[in-house]
Structures are given as C-alpha cells and as structure tokens.
Amino acid sequence: MIKILECDNKKAFVLNTDNTTYCFKVMETNHLEHLYYGKTFGNPDKLSIDDILAMSEKKEFEEGNMIVYDAEHKNITFENMCLEMSSYGKGDIREPFIEMTFSDGSSTCDFIFKDFIVDNEKEEYHTLPGSYFSGDGCKHLKIILTEKNHNVDLELDYFVYENEDVISRSAKVINNGEKDVLLKRIMSAQLDVNADDFVVRTFNGAWAREMGVNDTNINSGIFINSSFTGTSSNRANPFIILHEKNVTEDNGNLFGFNLIYSGNHYESVSVNSYGKTRILTGINPEQFSFLLKEGECFEAPEAVLSFSDKGYGGLSGNLHEFIRNHIIRKEFSKKERPVLLNSWEACYFNINESKLIKLAKAAKEVGVELFVMDDGWFANRNDDSHSLGDWYVNKDKIPGGLSGLAKKINALGLSFGIWVEPEMISVNSELYEKHPDWALEIKGYSHSEGRNQRILDLCNPKVCDFIINQMSEVFESADISYVKWDMNRIFSDVYSPYLRDKAGNYQGEVFHRYVLGLYRIMKTLTEEFPEILFEGCASGGNRFDLGILCYFPQIWASDNTDAISRAYIQEGYSYSYPLNTFTSHVSSVPNHQTLRSVNLDTRFAIAFFGTFGLECNLSDMPEKNLEEIKEMVKLYKEYRDVIQNGTYYRGRSGNIHEWTCVSKDKKRAVGMIMQELVKPNTQFEMYRAKGLNPDYKYHFYNISKRHDIRKFGDLINTVAPIHVKQDSALHNVIAKFVTMPGEIEDLTVLGSVLMNAGVKLKPAFSGTGYNENTRYFQDFSSRLYFMEAVD
C-alpha cells in the first residue's frame, strides 16, 4: 500500500509491501529526502508524521566548507544528506541522478516538488518494456518535480508490488519549454543509505563463463558495475546485490537492484566522507546524450528494487516471483516449456533436410517435443561470414522450404523451431550490396568486426520495418512454434548513417536508439505471433536481462554446455532469475567448449534445473545411451512443473553444489548434489532440503543405477577368479554381463528433519571396499533425490 502523511505543510510518502517499507519526505526546500528502505515497521496505519520526523536528518548550521543551498536555508547542505534524487550544482558533489545542459550552456539542475499522483494503474511506456500489474497488491505513486529555473519536469514513478516485496522505479524527463535541452545522464533509481561498510555482489564473466559471483567490500570511494558493449553484456550483468557483512544464504539484510534494459547499463555504489552510501542504476552515461526539443520527453528504463532480511535466498525468492508474475508475458509465465533438441552442436552449419529428419526421428524416440533447426538454413550460409540479412531458404539444403520441412517434422509428432539473427548483416550478403548504409559503420573507416559480421542500424525506422517484414514472412511461411533469436557480437565503430543524415547528427543517441528499435521489433513480432515461444540468445548470455525477458520468456544462458561450468553459470543466474528463464541442455562429451568429459548422469542433473533440452547428435549415439536419455527425458517431464514453476533454493556451493526445487503446494520436491573432485578417504555426505512443509512426511528416494564395471579399472582383479587386463577384449566382454550395484536411498522422513538435520547418505567409495550400499561418487558425480509428501 501507499500512505501519504501530511501535517503542518509537511508531506511524506510511505510505500509498504508485505515485508518491507520505503519512506521519503518533502523537505522545507521542496527537495526530497530519503528516509528509509528496509524491514517493515509493522502495521502501516500506526505510522504518523512524528515517526517521519524521527527519521529525518536534523541540521542547524552549515557543515565545514560544504555548500549551503540558499540564504534562507543555511542549514541545508545536500552533500551530507540522503536524497531521493540528486543533481550537480547545488552542493551535492556525489554522483548525480540527472545531468543536462540547457540552451544557455548552464548545467545546474534544481528539481523541486510540484505534485503527486497515487493510483492502481501501471503506466505504460511509449518506448520501453516494463513490468505489468497482475492481480491485487500493486500500487503506483508518481512524484512530479520541476526545475526551478527552466520549464522542465522530472517525473519519478514508484510501482509497489506488495506480494513480491518489490518496488520498481523509473523516471521521465519532459521539456515543456521552447528551447532545446541536452540530456547527458538519467538514472532509473537512486538509493541513499545512512550507513557504510557494505559488500557489493556482482555477476561478471565473459563468453562461456557468464555470471561469476564476485564480492567487493565498499567502505569508501566508488565502485562501478557497467556495460559498454551495446548490450547488457556477459561482462557485467545489470543485477547487483548490496548487503551487510556476514550475510548468508538464509540470514542477513540485503538489497537487490536490477534494470529492465538491454543496452549499456551503469550501477555505481559510492561512500562519501560522512559514511553515507549511494546506489545508482540506469543507462550508462558514457557516450550518451539525448536532445529534447519542445514538448519531447525521455523515458528512463524501469529499475527493480527488493529488500530481504532472509539472506541471498530470501532476495532470490522475491525476484523469482516478481519476474514470473510481472515480467514474463502472461501467455508463458506459468506455461510449461517443451523439451527440445537443437541441431547446432550436432551439425553446426553442415545441415540438410535428410540429416535433420534423421536427427528429428531420433529425438522423437527419446521423448523430445520440439525440434529446432539452428544456423545454416538460409541463403549461402555455410559459415559465419555469409548471408546474414538474406532470410530466404537455401533450397539445396532444404528442398521443400521451411513449410515442407515443418510438415515432415510435425508428421513425426514434433513441433518445429528455427534459429534467426535478424539484427546482423554480413558484408557478403545481398542485403549489404543493396543497403551498405544500413550497417552501423563509419564510411571510409576500416571496420573492426566481430564474428565476421556487422550490426544493422536499428536507429533507422526503415531497417526496423525491414526486419519486422522479413521475420513476419519467415514465421508465416511454416508452422513454427519456437524461434531462437541470436545476436553474436558486441558494438564497435559506433556510428549511425541514419542519424548522420538528420539535422544535428546526434551520435550520442545511437546506443539507446538501437535498443529502442530492437524493442519496437520485438514488441511488434511477439504481438503478431503471440503463440510462438521466443528464446533470446547473444552468444549465450551476452544479453541476459529483464528487458529481453519482457518479450522472450527464456534465454540461452551460455554457449558453454559443460556441466561443471554450467553449475556455476546457472547458480549465478539463480540469484535473480527463476529457472524457467534460462535454458540448459545435455550435450556430448568431450564437451565442445572445454573438452571435458562428464558422465551423462551429471550432465542431465545440471540441465534438469532449467528449461531442459538436448544439444547433441542422437543419430550417432549407441543404443544404451539413447535408452538412458529416454528415461531422463521422461523423468524431467514428471517434474517439469516443480522445476519451472516451483520455488528454487540454493544450498552449498563450491566443491559440492546442492540445489532444491519445491512445488508450490510443498508436496513434491527434487534435490541435487554434485561433486567436482573426490576428497580421499571421505565416505560421509549428506543432503539437506529447503522449503518443505516441516509437518509433512516425505518419501525420500533416489533412482538407483548400476555402474559399468570398467569404471573400477583393474580393481576387477580383486574379485575376478582369473586375471583381467584392463581395457582388454575380455574386460569389455565381462562388462556386457557384469555391472556393479548402485546404492538405494528409500526413507520416509519428516520435512523438519529433512531441512534441519538433513539425510546422511550411504557412504561413498573411499578405497576400502564396495558393495550395494556404497555410493559410487567420483569426480563430477551427482545424485538427484526426490521427495513426495505421504499421508
């Protein structure tokens, strides 16, 4: 709820969710003082203006050599105050919320309170995606500020999601004057905290190693997490956490910040000389500027804020529910995602119809529901240097076209999907020959390329219309139920020929206008084809953000399908993003990105915790492996709703990864432990669940498997009546008839015991013996455990 407190011309705003409270007030100077964001005060009806005054900072005289606001308010020094938004020129020397240059060349901004609006409506953006209200428990507050010396307004929007403990914020700048204004910086949210000695957790990486968890102590100076790739980037995800020291997975106070934006972003955490911490998040101001003419406005992207006093897990729970309920399109927010097979690692560019049909038949046999034809199907696309932009079928490879192939795939009982990369253009293409001015490049300069391709100028409406029309033709040409939308490079030589030819040549607008063009394309196509499941991709996770998720319900988490790498990558994503937003596939070994060989059970276990699929050549697999995969696909389907719509919990991380997913009614759960490296002479291991009903009894069990005797090497000679040479023909013959038993876990346990004490598992092999009660748990081993409530 939103509560307005007024007394003696004093005005304060209190935003309440189920478990948090956010407060700020209008100062005597008509600026906004931030008072509090954190754990709820309890019954909001009991809060009075006296409580607000108790939280307000008291000042009588100027401080040191700070700047005082004006002669009438010599006690007001903004440098040492917690503010709701800030700007340069009136004494606050910290990083500002907004910067602009006026027609007279001045840049001092002085925004003061003008008005407010409270309603239950989610204001629609004209240029950007955003969260949406769904059901009860959603409220909106608009604060209208005006610049004292120029006819410019700044609107601050607050969207309160009570059930999810989320408050989202955004800003809009409106030029009501006759003269142009140059906007040079606009953030989406600012949070000033009257404390220091925090830790900031960021999620950084690179191609094939996205979302690495990094902690940095911040008690002075400034820390910046940003992207300048033209995308939200795999280098630094826009999601950050600010927390007190000694926070754990289940305990401690922390703030989470994310941004509904897919371009260059900027998050800063700074601590001033007086121990006040400021957090800013928004569009990266580097090389950003935007001209506002009379009557024009600029919308900043929506920022997402959440507070939890229940550790990392509590914050993740808030954000997962918020994304499911208010970001992902309603058509797909609760809809189960199909098990798919993607042709990329099976075929790469070397595809043809007969090879694809053979692969699809094998996919159908193991229970796959959706067959996806990846890159290589169009024009002269035989490698990565040709034909992007020429979106017509290569009839030598696909004689019947997309429609003919789709019908054959559908006849097998499979849905059909394709790969596209519409934002790109190859120099070796018909499109580039016709429209070289449609690429982002500087005429006469040698272009620095990525993946042998260039980026289309989405600042140009004609280019956006071309992409919409081309993709519409492709999607209408066949029964296509899924589209993987890729974007395989970052920006370089950033220059828009379209903006060059417009009056002013405002190249500082390129990065943002590109994103606006992309969103127009995505909005148009997802509205035109609401039944298609779109999956975002940008060389894996180079554009994994809430902006994409507003249109595309899931994103390819990483081009790295190695299970050990993926354990860390998926764990990183899970801090903010629910499991049904990232795709996870079982691939071949040795893995194509790491050359590491991980057993099939572990490859499956890691891929299980996501929107599951296959990325391997089933046509070449031995029958034994196909039977195993068939059983795995069947098992995933049985627990698909638990994984995709349930509640996810992290346990241990490091050499042992421990995850749990629990159904909403807490009657079903699946847990996993995965070990990276064996610790010698260590038999003991346990699994501790989270999120169960403490009063329910659960049937706790695993699915026991027998093990290939060759895994034990020449230890076979400790039990064989004759000597067996390791890896010999005899060894292989014996392996066909003799396997080693796997341990069985089968217990009925109280939920409180499973969560508090945990289950002590059967002992692992440690060099002193092996029988049916021994757990074969070597390097890269894993187990899935299932919990079913019993009467």
Q: How far apart are CA 225 and CA 243, in angstroms?
A: 16
Q: Reduced to 3 states, what is the DSSP secondary structure of residue 47? A: coil
HEC sequence for 688-719:
CCCCCCCCCEEEEECCCCCEEHHHHHHHHHHC
Total residues belonging to the chain: 791
Q: How far apart are CA 741 and CA 743, in angstroms?
A: 7
- Of 305, 271, 223, nearest in space to 15 by CA: 305
446: which DSSP letter?
P
Q: How far apart are CA 232 and CA 219, in angstroms?
A: 27
For 591, phi and psi rounded to 5 degrees? -60, 145
> What separation in angstroms does the CA of 772 have from each of 718, 720, 740, 763?
16, 17, 8, 11
- Of 476, 487, 423, 402, nearest in space to 451 by CA: 487
Q: Characterize the bridge pairing of strands 533-536 and 482-485.
A: parallel
- Residue type, position 387, single letter: S
- Of 389, 332, 377, 376, nearest in space to 555 by CA: 332
Structure token pair of residue 717: 């000679």
Residue 433, by phi and psi: left (phi above 0), alpha (psi -120 to 50) or beta? Answer: alpha
Q: How far apart are CA 435 and CA 686, in angstroms?
A: 62
C-alpha angle 650/655/658, rounded to 5°?
Answer: 25
Looking only at Cα atoms, what is the longest distance across the chain? Answer: 101
- Of 439, 351, 454, 348, nearest in space to 393 by CA: 351
Q: Does residue 12 contact residue 5 with C-beta atoms inside 8 Å? A: yes
Q: Does residue 750 contact residue 758 with C-beta atoms inside 8 Å? A: no
Classify residue 663 as exposed, middle or buried by CB count within 10 Å of its CB (0-12, 13-18, 19+): buried
Q: How far apart are CA 230 and CA 226, in angstroms?
A: 11
Q: Reduced to 3 states, what is the DSSP secondary structure of residue 596? A: coil
Residue 504, by phi and psi: left (phi above 0), alpha (psi -120 to 50) or beta? Answer: left
Active-site residue list: 486, 559
Q: How far apart are CA 75 and CA 4, in angstroms?
A: 26
Cβ of 223: how many Cβ atoms within 10 Å? 18
For 602, phi and psi rounded to 5 degrees? -75, -40
Q: How far apart are CA 173 and CA 223, in angstroms?
A: 27
Cβ of 378: how many Cβ atoms within 10 Å? 23
Sign (positive or negative) of CA dihedral 519, 523, 525, 529:
positive
Q: How far apart are CA 202 and CA 243, in angstroms?
A: 11
Q: What is the layout of strands, in order, in the sheet containing 668-675?
A: 647-650, 656-662, 668-675, 782-790, 697-701, 746-750
User: Across-strand partners of 658?
Assistant: 673
Q: Reduced to 3 states, what is the DSSP secondary structure of residue 638? A: helix
State in Å, rounded, how far the first CA of the chain is from the last one.
39
- Residue type, position 165, single letter: D
User: Across-strand partners of 22?
Assistant: 15, 37
Q: How far apart are CA 417 and CA 554, in angstroms?
A: 14
Q: How far apart are CA 410 and CA 415, in angstroms?
A: 6
